[in-house]
Structure 1
């Protein structure tokens, strides 16, 4: 509640408030780290969609263009946009491509030429950036993006709300792959796509396809669809403005007493956008601040973690995780060597039906154990359902460029359809669902704080890192089951990885269970192997929106490696298996590299022990 009272002029103001709070609680080393980055912000007037058949002009929310509407919800209208979209005006025929899957595209291209036309696209099912890359390749000129009410929880009515999305895959677009420090070369990248992209409300989507307002019949939701008859010509006007702004991160260190050069990072984010992105930033910041407060009481009584805990509140998250990317690119060499895990607090209470734990394979066991101990409301914490799936937020760089094990706990509403995955890419206005309505007693916040706290403390304080090598090998084997592409070499190398991981687990985890086995040099060597278990699984290149770290699946519906799934789809679209062969080679080399790495770890220990004997 206190956090929501902060006057939020921009990112720096709110970051300063957080810095003061953390310092007042006794955190010794707290820094404000600023980067000047390229943001794409709304223009002075709202983007518009005009139906040429009738001449009607609409704002993204579905309200008709007039001065009265404009002043009523000015901020909401302005922030209903796609950051880093192409700018300008486009007139073209509206083409309904549903979720923009490869099948949808093949179906549409068989009946019409899509060049310079405007796609009506539903958010969900797969990452937005991936779908937009397909549309761009197909030759579309623009995209109207909306969320089908059937894909939202029944408790949520966002029919008349437009939203914001970012088309930025991560970091400052003007310094791709390197940090935005003073003196860095700035590339001229005013938009990140040739498409004019505009998010609209479901209400406007219904108007454009001439549907009656109510499409819910006797508890059965009818998905929206453009009728086959009648050509709709629309004009799309997009006026966002790119400008350099300061994005601020707050970084606080609690130094470890045994391994101060090994970091466990706990990450939340703060929001400089006046209304967009809901109130999840306040939930995120409140939980990390309460955790710091509890830890500093222990520190005053003489306690210290073994490893350093780094607390981070990131800026610029809504625009493509900019603050976390820039800091990680700035400190890349240090982080590659020092970070052992990242614990995410991105949007921890986005619903109130069920706990949704996500962890990379090596941390799944730890996350499941923590869940069974700490859940305040057992009915909302079903058994051990920890999965390794793509998630939103600032863990992105740590997963995909550093290969760091990650875990995150959050509360969600029950998914209403199989298309609900990736709907959370939309940032709706703040007043759509207040945090206090979702969790009036703050018991869900309390559960997330306990789970996050326990996992962080175990990783920071156990002599041997609580990472499970065998779970990685099992996840790899599961990802190859039922694969359309049955390659004997892949299955063979995955089997070797499992055999090596089993040996590693049984022989080398003894120090975790027996203090007599904990010679300092042995523990350090074991931990060095454990902290890099997942680094072998970063492929060089992944399609837009898909993780480079192949240990994470697209969502709960899919069990295969996402790069192989996508490559199989690519074959259908381009009648060539070159992409599939390249993807298979990347996956094969990743699994082989992991097996070689595990075996090298075993060899090192055998040599050390033989020497001691």
Structure 2
């Protein structure tokens, strides 16, 4: 019996111990389950799609690789010879850029050619301006070369400074449209339909034009004998009394005095190329961050555009090599663009957007433009509201060219504080329409950033609203940049650095750093300004009201605030589909502000919230349709005022609808209504 008790006790203890061991093990041992190779692959994809590739330490390595010598060499080649759009030299440079980008390691590089109608002078019959009378015959004819001979007392001009010699001639285009005038609205490819001559004639400028230097202008202005101009019209040419004209001074031009202009320009259909280089994105290759600059120039073009091209070449060199020698590759595709025929009317970029319209509307995130990198020493920037903080953020990372221990933002902030505005925070303005970003934002609703380094208007107040003295002249040479504007190419380093930081941030950030609330701030400020400036009272006198637009703006604010709250949710960054939806909403927000038929009387500008004024394509403002329709309203006839009032009524309704649609677009995506 004793043995039985002992055995029973041992067996019972063993069973009890086994139960305890089993139960304890069940709750304490790590749980594991075999995961199939297929599931492991899916988890790896989710992990890759939700990884944030933006790295502040990594971008510092890129900035350290920006080479002034490299950019100097690029500029030397780019500005070696004049390269008018469609010329052999410009097409050579397109091929040279293509070969360089291929060598730098971009995944795809194409040279896309368009047939464009361009205007050229006739070397055998140069354009002439003459002043003559019956008594003396020929009194004056314009200079046909820029010889750089300095007038007495004006020795402080190029090549001793950046000021323009008296023979300098600013070239430009008098064509006010965008794109090839023969193919409005569609790309100028081989075999496409081109408008007939009678339609073309209505699109081209009908008034003959020929620019001259201020030495020649002094002769013509000095021969005029009308009333003196108002004080604020007075120019700065020494020895000239500025008069309104109407007749000539008989002591300077006697019997039958006449001023003649002979223009022998000829129209030619020429090939002008865009160069398109792609660094393929690893996670979202169908989303594009675009960076561009035009290539053609009115002369040597060392400032406009080749300073911008030189820094872009450096950005491509650094990122191409990085993608081919490290594990880094951008999350989204980065597309680099060298435009042709910008100077003739934004032709290369317009043809590109017309050619790839559907892809760009669906896939483009932002276009960053740097037409001119260096024309002075102080940054000037433009952008659409949702991204206007991106450049400011980048300046806090890029070092100052004047003190490498200081960020560019610190320099810029200190410089801004010296002004009369009382504002110490640097300002990014709304984009105008004078460069290649125009069609992206105003026709397609793609957000844009545009920047350049301009003359210091604290030092040179007369240059605040002007580019730079040698703009579009034959004195835009390599020596001007190398010896006067940017010795050491430190300002070029700023441009390349800004493009690297902004480009990589927009290409690598998991969540696009766009802020829709900035549109609310802009719209609210503009509507409030309409109240204080008397515009609202004028509308009320026409039985029109801003009430419904103001209400829609507030609705947009409420929805944008909710969108920002959803964006800050931690769960978003763990869900690739939620990320994609949120990014697409803010990426395409500007598309919701497009009027299908364009602004009143301006079909080429479709953005109803921000577009240039009808009367100034180099300026931009908010709600331009209202301002344009009220322009000189009181000077119109009764019939014209009635028609204009109907247009205003319709436009105010359109604005209300667009803003409400934009608010609805930012709602939870499953909510159609």
Which structure has the bigger radius of gyration?
2
Work out which of the residue numbers 410, 431, 434 in structure 1 matches 2:475: 431
Q: How far apart are the structure 2 equivalents of 1:496 and 1:255?
A: 43
Q: How far apart are the structure 1 equivalents of 2:658 and 2:472?
A: 42
Q: Secondary structure at the match of 1:411?
A: strand
Work out which of the residue numbers 220, 229, 243 in structure 2 matches 1:226: 243
Work out which of the residue numbers 468, 474, 487 in structure 2 matches 1:440: 487
Work out which of the residue numbers 411, 414, 419 in structure 2 matches 1:379: 411
Q: Normalised by the size of structure 1, how large is the TM-score?
A: 0.75
In the TM superposition, what are the counterparts of 1:168-247 in structure 2 within 5 Å?
A: 168=175, 169-187=177-195, 188=197, 189=200, 192-210=204-222, 222=236, 225-227=242-244, 230-231=247-248, 233-247=258-272
Query: What does residue 53 of structure 2 align with?
Result: none
Q: Residue 593 of structure 2 contacts residue 662 of structure 2 at CA under 8 Å; is this kept in 1?
A: no
Query: What does residue 328 of structure 2 align with?
Result: 303
Query: What does residue 383 of structure 2 align with?
Result: 359
How many residue pairs get matched?
514
Q: Deviations over 1:436-487 (max 9, x none)?
A: 2211121111111111221122211222221111111221222331444214
Q: Residue 412 of structure 2 contacts residue 426 of structure 2 at CA under 8 Å; is this kept in 1?
A: no
Structure 1 unaligned residues grouped into runs of 5+: 64-69, 77-153, 609-613
Query: What does residue 116 of structure 2 align with?
Result: 37
Query: What does residue 661 of structure 2 align with?
Result: 596
- Single out whichever of 579-588 and 474-483 deviates more from structure 2: 579-588
Query: What does residue 2 of structure 1 align with?
Result: 73
Work out which of the residue numbers 43, 46, 49 in structure 1 matches 2:129: 49
Query: What does residue 128 of structure 1 align with?
Result: none
| CA distance 1:422–1:321, change in 2 (3 Å) | farther
| CA distance 1:333–1:17, change in 2 (3 Å) | same
Q: Residue 400 of structure 1 contacts residue 548 of structure 1 at CA under 8 Å; is this kept in 2?
A: yes
Matched, 1:532 2:588: yes
Matched, 1:567 2:629: yes
Q: Secondary structure at the match of 2:517?
A: helix
How far residue 178 of structure 1 moved from its aligned partner, in angstroms, is 0.6
Q: Secondary structure at the match of 2:667?
A: helix
Query: What does residue 331 of structure 1 align with?
Result: 356
Q: How far apart are the structure 1 equivalents of 2:469 and 2:187?
A: 25
Q: Deviations over 1:573-613 (max 9, x none)?
A: 543333465256335413531322322431425689xxxxx
Q: Secondary structure at the match of 2:562?
A: helix
Structure 2 unaligned residues grouped into runs of 5+: 1-71, 149-160, 249-256, 403-409, 417-424
- Single out whichever of 476-485 and 551-560 deviates more from structure 2: 551-560
Q: How far apart are the structure 2 equivalents of 1:466 and 1:590?
A: 26
In the TM superposition, what are the counterparts of 1:550-589 in structure 2 within 5 Å?
A: 550-552=609-611, 561-571=623-633, 574-575=636-637, 576-577=640-641, 578-579=643-644, 581-582=646-647, 585-586=650-651, 588-589=653-654
Q: How far apart are the structure 2 equivalents of 1:514 and 1:51?
A: 74
Q: How far apart are the structure 2 equivalents of 1:412 and 1:403?
A: 27
How far residue 532 of structure 1 moved from its aligned partner, in angstroms, is 1.7
Matched, 1:164 2:176: no
| CA distance 1:520–1:492, change in 2 (3 Å) | farther
Q: Secondary structure at the match of 1:431?
A: coil
| CA distance 1:357–1:580, change in 2 (3 Å) | farther
Q: Secondary structure at the match of 1:199?
A: coil
Q: Normalised by the size of structure 2, how large is the TM-score?
A: 0.69
Q: Residue 586 of structure 2 contacts residue 666 of structure 2 at CA under 8 Å; is this kept in 1?
A: no
Once superposed, what is the RMSD of the aligned Cα atoms? 3.4
Query: What does residue 509 of structure 1 align with?
Result: 564
Query: What does residue 496 of structure 1 align with?
Result: 551
Q: How far apart are the structure 2 equivalents of 1:584 and 1:363?
A: 31
Q: How far apart are the structure 2 equivalents of 1:426 and 1:155?
A: 7
Q: How far apart are the structure 1 equivalents of 2:184 and 2:481?
A: 35
| CA distance 1:246–1:351, change in 2 (3 Å) | same
Q: Residue 272 of structure 1 contacts residue 315 of structure 1 at CA under 8 Å; is this kept in 2?
A: no
How far residue 552 of structure 1 moved from its aligned partner, in angstroms, is 4.0
Query: What does residue 448 of structure 2 align with?
Result: 406
Q: Secondary structure at the match of 1:521?
A: helix
Q: How far apart are the structure 2 equivalents of 1:360 and 1:230?
A: 48
| CA distance 1:424–1:442, change in 2 (3 Å) | closer
Q: How far apart are the structure 2 equivalents of 1:558 and 1:310?
A: 27
How far residue 543 of structure 1 moved from its aligned partner, in angstroms, is 5.8
Query: What does residue 150 of structure 1 align with?
Result: none
Query: What does residue 318 of structure 2 align with?
Result: 294
Q: Residue 36 of structure 1 contacts residue 244 of structure 1 at CA under 8 Å; is this kept in 2?
A: yes
Q: Residue 28 of structure 1 contacts residue 254 of structure 1 at CA under 8 Å; is this kept in 2?
A: yes
